[in-house]
Amino acid sequence: MTVEIREHPFDPWQTVSEYRSNHLVAGKSGASAVFVGTMRDFNEGDEVQAMVLEHYPGMTEQQLKDMRDQAVSKHDLEDALVVHRVGTVHPGDDIVLVAAFSAHRKAALDACREMMEVLKSTAPFWKKETLAQGERWVERNTPR
Amino acid sequence: MTVEIREHPFDPWQTVSEYRSNHLVAGKSGASAVFVGTMRDFNEGDEVQAMVLEHYPGMTEQQLKDMRDQAVSKHDLEDALVVHRVGTVHPGDDIVLVAAFSAHRKAALDACREMMEVLKSTAPFWKKETLAQGERWVERNTPR
Amino acid sequence: MTINVRFFASLRERIGQATMTLDADGITTARDVWKAVSGESPDEEMLVAINKEYAGLDRAVADGDEVAFFPPVTGG
Amino acid sequence: MTINVRFFASLRERIGQATMTLDADGITTARDVWKAVSGESPDEEMLVAINKEYAGLDRAVADGDEVAFFPPVTGG
């Protein structure tokens, strides 16, 4: 439940809100740091109409789970949550949600940023964009 | 609308979600970084039952607005949002919401963290805690 | 010279009121305002705002200014 | 020795299939697997996973292993 691959559109804000209500003890984690990545309608100067997100079932979930567990342990978090879309997405669709819950704001903010960097560099996902001129694979992530 | 002082409980996640829907152009800001601070039921080893948040009407709003505008300008954000509670709050109540919306994740994450640090060190708010043994003013913020 | 003085948080409680109107001559700076209203030297950590903007204790004040004194901020 | 080989993203399209079962002798490492299925030397940037964990090209493979090849990841 702390790591999820979603095949359909999801509302990251409602997901965080429900997760906090259902899984966190009120009054313990004073700091919530959340990053949400959303599909843009442009990339490298081109208009993008749609995108297919591919993953490696089994390996991707395990990578995300290890990443989440390491962040919780390293930063002594109360909890952390990672959700990632796969399948066909359109501009404005949310792709990734990373949330870190801690008693302290620095731990939450550091963990949120680190999880995003680890996800971007190691989680097995691949993007194929649909442009007006055809399709293309995104070859690498921006460094930041 | 980008800076608000709230006298009653608010849902920061719904606030972000509605702000994005109503004020941001879908497909432009790929990165949303959000920090939410929530009242804890303990501080400096003591159980805290309630807290009163005081502010300086007029000055506080202006400080937050300047802070938000500077973050938008410095990090070239699409937009940013700051909401802060005042009045009597209880453990589990959300106190502060800071959100940064950008095309790039580093800008959003940097701006979100910076706004929280500026808010903590300069925005005119003061906390008075109610403990089992009586009331006490919080004398200073934790450095992080 | 008339100065509208405001106090917040623990300073408000120490002074015993939230606002005060100071009518006095011989007042040049925010520090003079504090001495006139409290009879004390300012605490090192005390913060000052003149017309709702942060200011140093030695900033000059003018007739009609709003001068506020408060402890370190603890929001967020 | 039987190896279950998987390809993802642009490599899947280049190879023309997502999975392949390799029955061959003389295969010791993931690099050998790649050469056997593609006839090419591996691209420097290509990533390898053995049994769903990242591995180097020179990691030994064993009978029944799942060996996956894919380009740099682009999630998030």
**What pLDDT does A60 receive?**
98
Task: Compute the count of residue pairs across chains A and B with CB atoms less than 8 Å apart.
Answer: 104
- Report whether pLDDT(B32) > 90: yes
Which of A26, A36, A105 lies closest to B91 in CB terms? A26
Q: Is the pLDDT of residue B1 over 80?
A: no
Locate tokens 């599909």: which residue? Answer: A39
C-alpha distances (whole Å) from B74 to each of B33, B107, B110, B112, D17 are 16, 9, 10, 12, 48
* Confidence at residue A45, expressed as pLDDT on a 0 to 100 scale: 87
pLDDT (tens digit per residue) in B44-54? 889 999 999 99
Q: What percent of chain A has pLDDT over 90?
A: 89
Query: Which pLDDT score is estimated for B141?
Result: 82
pLDDT in tens, A79-124: 999 999 999 999 999 999 999 999 999 999 999 999 999 999 999 9
With contacts defined as CB-CB under 8 Å, which chain C residues touch B95? Answer: 75-76
Q: What is the pLDDT of residue B144?
A: 65
Residue A143 scores a pLDDT above 70? no
Pairing of strands B125-131, B3-6: unpaired
Q: Which of A34, A35, A51, A54 to mutate to test the interface with D (most CBs of D within 10 A)?
A: A54
Q: What is the mean pLDDT of residues C2-30?
A: 96
Q: Show Cβ contacts of residue A143 under 8 Å, excluding neighbours closer than 6 positions.
A: none
Q: Which residues of chain D have pLDDT under 70?
A: none
Residues in chain D: 76
How far is the CA of A4 from the CAs of A58, A81, D52, in angstroms? 11, 8, 17
pLDDT in tens, C20-69: 999 989 999 999 999 999 999 999 899 999 999 999 999 999 999 999 99
Q: What pLDDT score was predicted for residue C24?
A: 86
Q: Give A27's pLDDT tier (boundaries 50, 70, 90).
A: confident
Is the distance from CB of B71 to CB of B77 less than 8 angstroms?
yes
Distance from CA of C75 to the nearest CA of B (A): 5
| Domains, chain B, with CATH or none | 3-137 (3.90.1170.40)
- What confidence score (pLDDT) does residue B132 get? 92
In this structure, what are the phi and psi dihedrals at residue C35, rounded to the nearest 5 degrees?
-60, -40
**Residues of chain A neighbouring D71 (CB-CB closer than 8 A):** 126, 137, 139
Inform me whether the pLDDT recorded for B122 exceeds 80: yes
* D72 has a chain A CB within 8 A of its CB: yes
Rounded CA-CA distance A19/A22 in Å is: 5
* Residue C60 neighbours by CB under 8 Å, 6+ apart: C28, C29
Quote the pLDDT of residue B143: 66
Chain B: nearest CA to A53, how far in angstroms? 16
DSSP label at residue B129: E
pLDDT band at A72 (very low <50, low <70, confident <90, very high): very high
pLDDT recorded at residue B47 = 94
Interface of B with A (CB under 8 A): 11, 13-14, 16-17, 26-42, 91-92, 103-106, 108-109, 112-113, 116, 142, 144
* Better-scored residue on pLDDT, B26 or C36: C36
pLDDT digits (tens, 9 = 90+) for B81-121: 999 999 999 999 999 999 999 999 999 999 999 999 999 99
User: Which pLDDT band holds residue B29 (cuts at 50, 70, 90)?
Assistant: confident
The pLDDT mean for chain B works out to: 95
B41-46 long-range contacts (CB < 8 A, ≥24 apart) are B41/A26, B41/A27, B41/A28, B41/B91, B41/B92, B42/A27, B43/B129, B43/B138, B46/B129, B46/B131, B46/B132
pLDDT at A26: 84
CATH superfamily, domain C2-70, is Beta-grasp domain (3.10.20.30)
* Structure token digits, residue D51: 């049994």
pLDDT at A29: 86
ipTM for the predicted complex: 0.95
Distance from CA of C15 to the nearest CA of B (A): 15
Query: Residue B26 — pLDDT band, cuts 50, 70, 90?
Result: confident
Residues of A in contact with D55 (CB under 8 A): none
**pTM passes above 0.90:** yes
Question: Cα–Cα distance between B133 and B97 in angstroms, integer?
Answer: 30
* Average pLDDT in chain D: 96
Provide, as residue numbers in chain C, all residues whose Cβ is less than 8 Å from the Cβ of B113.
none
Check C76 against B125: CB less than 8 A apart. yes
Are B128 and C9 an interchain contact pair (Cβ–Cβ within 8 Å)? Answer: yes
Phi/psi at B37 (nearest 5 deg)? -105, 130
